[in-house]
Amino acid sequence: MAKYLLLKHYCGAPAAVNDVPMDQWAPEEVSAHIQYMNDFASRLEETGEFVDSRALAPGGTFVRYDGEGRPPVTDGPFAETKDVIAGWMIIDVDSYDRALELAAELSAAPGAGGKPIHEWLELRPLLDESSGTTE
Amino acid sequence: MDEALLRTLTPKVLGILCRRGADFAAAEDAVQDALVEALRVWPSAPPRDPRAWLVTAAWRKFLDATRAETSRRRREDLADAEPEPGPASTVDDTLRLYFLCAHPSLTPSSAVALTLRAVGGLTTRQIAQAYLVPEATMAQRISRAKRTVSGARFDQPGDVATVLRVLYLVFNEGYSGEVDLSAEAIRLTRQLAAVIDHPEVAGLLALMLLHHARRVARTAPDGSLVPLAEQDRGRWDTRLIGEGIGILQAALARDRLGEFQAQAAIAALHADAPTAEETDWPQIVEWYDELTGLTGSPVVRLNRAVAVGEAEGAAAGLVALAELDPSLPRHTAVAAYLHERNGDLAKAAELYAEAARQAPNLPERDHLVKQAARLNSR
């Protein structure tokens, strides 16, 4: 009974084994990939392990406060070395091992040539708001 | 509309249906339907005997559902099995329900959810909210759990230890939604203690009461953790402490020690000390020795190292700590504390910062970061 965040990276993570950009896949390969993701999420809902999941648009911007009365500073749309996150899913599972198992399953999503992408997923425990009851 | 009464009656009604031969999953659905009807009907037409009303309504719902699904013959068999009205042995039924909901074939999270719903009478929405998951997820978790135990024989004697573990899991969840799960766990454990005479049930109840009595003092108004030694003992609930100690003493007198009694004994020694300085650390170390013998748990040995550090000095605590696996949860935090007490402040600051990075929840992380900052800003 612990929640974990699964982060899918576009870049910033180590390269996947089957590392072909999505825009170079066949359309049916893209469909198969999306189907896999959706099936994965509904299966987790059935097992009672699903919490939330969202895809993110790739174009992120870093923003910073620049002093009273001044507009926020941004790094512009074309920063080169940014870590880009494609989406996330939060799961609620009984053990760390189960979280690893599910992350591995998600990493096996089909990519180019219908073969698993073997992409690296980041698995992060969520910090609880509550401290439990024991001292 | 007395919602607390409904929740108390839920396991009794469910138990009666199951004893009459209803399959658990179907009985649970029928009881939920009856509860919904009670909420609708009772405000304008309160029943004279709420329990009898619920049993009748739930049994009718169950028969309706069965009628829709199975043959006429099956239905008549069940109707024949209905006993004559009269006093029923609800005590045993409730107990069986606890065992069923904590069935070993369930994962801990499923057992917790099923116990809260079937024994506790909470709605799926309340349980989902308490565990911060979507209602659909919790609904699936519960229906899977029901399917899993549907095959289990209702008359099979269960394992008290499993039930106690589930209740302790519920207790430790604290509260995040509209339902205070610690209070709910205490209610369910009280109810269990009323139907089963077992020193470990008493031990767990005592442990919960002793922890609960000190809960408000554990956090500052801003939500930050207050360590035991700095807590305002005037805010501890002395009535609950008294009750917990009374229950514990009666259990210990029976000389069948178990881990919950030993843990409660440690909690009682903390609760009984008028000031932190007057804590009876040597006796706490003795209880940790008992607990180590009972559980062999490395976490217990970690806590024991802290107690040794208080009873015999930080250096002795560090010696006890050195025997333990550094990858244990909170090992780093304990090491930081003992090093600070031992006068090695630079090492302590470093360890506090590392412990903060490993902390499992926000209040603990914030607390440890502040400890590191306190030492670094000397």
Is A134 part of any domain?
Answer: no
Q: Enumerate the residues of chain B whose CB falls inside 8 A of the CB of residue A1.
A: 108-109, 112, 131, 169
* Contact status, residue B167 vs residue B190, Cβ threshold 8 Å: no
pLDDT digits (tens, 9 = 90+) for B132-173: 899 999 999 999 999 988 877 655 556 899 999 999 999 988
Is B28 part of any domain?
Answer: yes
pTM of the model: 0.85
Q: Which amino acid is at B329?
A: P
Is B113 part of any domain?
Answer: no
Token pair of A51 as six digits? 């919490």
Is B160 part of any domain?
Answer: no
Is A133 part of any domain?
Answer: no
Is B33 part of any domain?
Answer: yes
pLDDT digits (tens, 9 = 90+) for A50-77: 999 998 887 778 888 888 999 888 887 6
Is A131 part of any domain?
Answer: no
- Burial of B48 per CB tally in 10 Å (0-12, 13-18, 19+): exposed
Which residues, including other chains, have CB under 8 Å from residue B255's CB and lie 6 or more apart? none
pLDDT digits (tens, 9 = 90+) for A76-119: 766 566 677 889 999 999 999 999 999 999 999 999 999 999 99
Phi then psi for residue A87, to 5 deg, are 175, 175
| ipTM score for this prediction | 0.79
Token pair of A7 as six digits? 């982060």
Q: Enumerate the residues of chain B whose CB falls inside 8 A of the CB of residue A53.
A: none
Shortest CA distance from A129: residue in chain B: B362
Which residues, including other chains, have CB under 8 Å from residue B337's CB and lie 6 or more apart? B306, B309, B348
Q: Enumerate the residues of chain A whose CB falls inside 8 A of the CB of residue B219.
A: 131
Q: Enumerate the residues of chain A whose CB falls inside 8 A of the CB of residue B225.
A: 131
Instruction: Give yes or no for B330 touching A (CB within 8 A).
Output: no
Q: Nearest to residue B342, comparing CAs of B305, B310, B314?
A: B314
Q: Which amino acid is at B144?
A: R
Nearest by CB: B361 against A1, A45, A131: A131
Q: Nearest to residue A6, comparing CAs of A94, A62, A85?
A: A85
Alpha helices of chain B — where are they, by DSSP H?
Answer: 3-19, 24-41, 50-69, 72-81, 90-101, 108-114, 124-130, 135-150, 160-172, 181-195, 199-213, 215-218, 238-252, 259-272, 281-295, 298-312, 314-322, 331-341, 345-358, 362-376
The alpha carbon of residue A99 is apart from the nearest alpha carbon of chain B, in Å, by 14
Is B321 part of any domain?
Answer: no
**CB-based contact A133 B109, cutoff 8 Å:** no
**CB-based contact A51 B133, cutoff 8 Å:** yes
Nearest by CB: B108 against A47, A94, A132: A94
Shortest CA distance from A42: residue in chain B: B137
Domain count, chain B: 1
Is A21 part of any domain?
Answer: yes
Domain count, chain A: 1
Shortest CA distance from A135: residue in chain B: B228
Shortest CA distance from A93: residue in chain B: B109
Is A117 part of any domain?
Answer: yes
Is A135 part of any domain?
Answer: no
pLDDT digits (tens, 9 = 90+) for B223-277: 888 999 999 999 999 999 999 999 999 999 999 999 999 999 999 999 999 999 9
Is B27 part of any domain?
Answer: yes
* Contact status, residue B13 vs residue B58, Cβ threshold 8 Å: yes
Is B81 part of any domain?
Answer: yes
Is A120 part of any domain?
Answer: yes
Range of the domain at A60: 2-125
Token pair of B10 as six digits? 């839920």
Nearest by CB: A131 against B140, B144, B363: B363
Range of the domain at B14: 1-88
CATH number at residue A29: 3.30.70.1060
Evaluated on CA atoms B254, B283, B325, A5, the torsion sign reads: positive
Is A132 part of any domain?
Answer: no
CA angle B150, B154, B155 (to 5 degrees): 160
The alpha carbon of residue A69 is apart from the nearest alpha carbon of chain B, in Å, by 31
Instruction: Give yes or no for B226 touching A (CB within 8 A).
Output: no
